[in-house]
Chains A and B, each alone.
Chain A
């Protein structure tokens, strides 16, 4: 492995929009309590669907973050992301007016971008039987590229700019590339993360795949019954250590490296042998120059489907061997559901918080062990423990796999 340089990259700010709360403190307190964010749907009509529950963000008030005129220019995903970015920048105590904004990057992930905008356009067309009734300003809000564009425009950030829509693993891809751009010297800092709003398309699709739970998500449990479709956004402010030190920034954690792979198996089913996940996890360890022995905890992809949780157990066993059962591995999707393109960004933020507080978040709703998922999933109660180096896994439709390695920051 021949890297150009080995800089140190740290996480200094977090912004979170989740079904168990918006804002870092609200989220963290709810997560440590083991709160369940999967409830009967209120804002989406699920009367025709087999599943009636999901993870809606109910306490998000766009007015708290954006002017009405700004809200009108973007979809729900864009609003989530701008709000979370404001939180992350504030959390990082960064004064953008003191920064060279061409040295800040924007690296985002999503599954479908602004699906609600497309849904709105198509519904207008059908309702009026006339496409001319679609407001002329609406279509341009749809492409997922509008999400990072909204950030860059709002904060006048002119540095490298990317949207990586690799579905449910997109957050890790985006954070990983932000890390790469810092390593390559393209930027000093980045706004990185992922976002997805609740969409009828995703909800219908997962229902039709019989992948949704009828009630709540029970990752790794013998009686797990599927994933919970959810929404949210996670934003991380990441920067090169020297830059963070120069401005005396609070440091949550250090990004050690990441690895990507692909199952190349089926579009919607993971390879039961775990091929892509094993490649990503091994690469992540290799690129981060850490050994499996030094990993204390894994933030699982853990969707709560039969296939995912079984496969993820296989992946960890292959890579960690005899140590697999000693590595704690929980799924915060038990609490917030599957936030799609936001999932791994929220999980990376959760990992940063776990490292800061030295508390591992639980897998809630766990009642009966599954011999096919014989790992320590930190059942039901958060655990104070030594967390030095940890991993966050994220997998996706189309076979994309990813693992991100984070460490507690030590001067």
Chain B
């Protein structure tokens, strides 16, 4: 049987770039918006840490007060993004055909897990609020969204580090191809948590300067970001039937794992190449037909050189324009891939490529990333990620007329 044509239609998002596609489009032409964090409930850094934090979000105005009392910030962020994007769709779908949910997250509920433990260390194991335990499972945010919308057909959570958002979309794509259900809301979620920030600091990958410089020779690390981007994935005819705006088709997608980098070796990019080729084969195109690559370039030099090795392995010397949306958003971990897809949809719609929003800097990367905004006709766009751990993911978005 022929592969189903799966499209992205409705969007729900909250990130420092905004709360809908128009705001994201505008944000991609403006300087990045940064903020700082310093103290959390149980711990403090004792100094401001630069990051791309969502500011001014009040979940109660979006969600109402009901049901939020014991929910953590990751859950409130997911529920808020879902409410903005999918409330009507959920309410209008008959229960037996209501969309499923599939959420990618790297650290998931680590703030709740860490706080639960910190509370039990500081105040004793017999004083912690039992309701707080419910937040500690990584699938808690997704489950809370299922509860809010009485969505009983699927609740899944994917956690593959930086690639979680892309892999959640790939997983949802596969379940739709299997015919298990008709519509899935898939995407990525990550909150800035004390524990993830601390982990990055101790691992030495956080940028001391707080400036994101993907592929720069002198880049000094990542800046943590947060956000949530969700997409309704459905067959094209389903979207057409309900009169939905189709943002793009997911023409092909694949993931894999390169064992080399995590073992301390450099990669020849062959696994990344094979992943992109699988996605291209599904899309029935040659890699040469890809007009733009939305890379996972983040300012982590090890990661950026992997990404460069992979992209070079696919395209050789004839690399299409490469951008790195993380220069606008920071490293949003599990949300990164989904926010990358969101930015790509905004660019495809405007026929432009939003390059790195700073003055061009020195780079000996073979990729020659795009700086500033440039006009471009994009028919096929590759959103990719090659993580330091070795995860390789690729999604090819195709413009739909």
Interface 9-residue window, one of A21-29, A156-164, A290-298, A369-377: A156-164
Q: In the complex the two chains form, is A398's CB within 8 Å of B139's CB?
A: yes
Interface 9-residue window, one of A59-67, A181-189, A235-243, A326-334: A181-189
Q: In the complex the two chains form, is B158's CB within 8 Å of A164's CB?
A: yes
Q: Which residue of B lies closest to A152 (CB)?
A: B257
Q: In the complex the two chains form, is B271's CB within 8 Å of A102's CB?
A: yes
Q: Which residue of A lies closest to B149 (CB)?
A: A264
Give the number of residues in A that approach B within 8 Å (Cβ atoms).
87
A247 to chain B, nearest CB (A): 23
A93 to chain B, nearest CB (A): 23
Q: Which residue of A lies closest to B150 (CB)?
A: A264
What secondary structure prevails in chain A residues at the interface with B?
mixed
Q: In the complex the two chains form, is A262's CB within 8 Å of B137's CB?
A: no
Interface 9-residue window, one of B108-116, B217-225, B348-356: B108-116
Interface 9-residue window, one of A9-17, A131-139, A380-388: A131-139
Bitwise interface map of A from 120 to 147 toward B, beta carbon under 8 Å scored 1, else 0: 0111011000011011111110111110
A49 proximal to B (CB < 8 A) = yes
**Interface extent on B, as a size class?**
35 or more
Taking a contact as CB atoms closer than 8 A, the residue among B1, B120, B125 that contacts A2 in the complex is B1
B37 to chain A, nearest CB (A): 15
Q: In the complex the two chains form, is B152's CB within 8 Å of A161's CB?
A: no
A2 to chain B, nearest CB (A): 5
Q: Which residue of A lies closest to B179 (CB)?
A: A2
Q: In the complex the two chains form, is B130's CB within 8 Å of A209's CB?
A: yes
Q: In the complex the two chains form, is A262's CB within 8 Å of B144's CB?
A: no
Total of A-B residue pairs, C-beta within 8 Å = 255
B359 proximal to A (CB < 8 A) = no
Q: In the complex the two chains form, is A262's CB within 8 Å of B117's CB?
A: no
A residues within 8 A CB of B151?
A: 262, 264
Q: In the complex the two chains form, is B174's CB within 8 Å of A136's CB?
A: no
A residues within 8 A CB of B256?
A: 102, 158-161
Q: In the complex the two chains form, is B155's CB within 8 Å of A106's CB?
A: no
Taking a contact as CB atoms closer than 8 A, the residue among A126, A164, A209 that contacts B133 in the complex is A209
Give me the interface of B with A, judged by CB distance under 8 Å: 1, 3, 43, 106-108, 110, 113-114, 116-118, 120-122, 124-126, 128-130, 133-140, 142-144, 146-147, 149-161, 164, 167, 171, 174-175, 177-180, 195, 198-204, 254-259, 262-263, 271, 274, 278, 389-391
* Given A131-B202, A140-B203: A153 in contact with B262 (beta carbons within 8 A): yes
* Complex Cα gap A242–B199 (Å): 45
A residues within 8 A CB of B160?
A: 145, 148, 161-163
Interface 9-residue window, one of A81-89, A199-207, A225-233, A358-366: A199-207
13 extra interchain contacts, Cβ-Cβ under 8 A, other than A204-B116, A204-B125? Answer: A126-B122, A136-B204, A139-B199, A143-B159, A149-B262, A152-B259, A161-B256, A164-B156, A180-B175, A205-B128, A209-B130, A262-B146, A265-B147
A77 proximal to B (CB < 8 A) = no
Q: In the complex the two chains form, is B391's CB within 8 Å of A173's CB?
A: no
**What would 24 A/B residue contacts be, using CB atoms closer than 8 Å?**
A2-B179, A112-B138, A125-B43, A134-B198, A145-B159, A145-B161, A149-B389, A153-B263, A157-B257, A165-B108, A165-B137, A165-B139, A165-B157, A166-B157, A180-B174, A180-B178, A184-B174, A201-B136, A204-B116, A205-B130, A205-B133, A206-B133, A279-B152, A399-B147
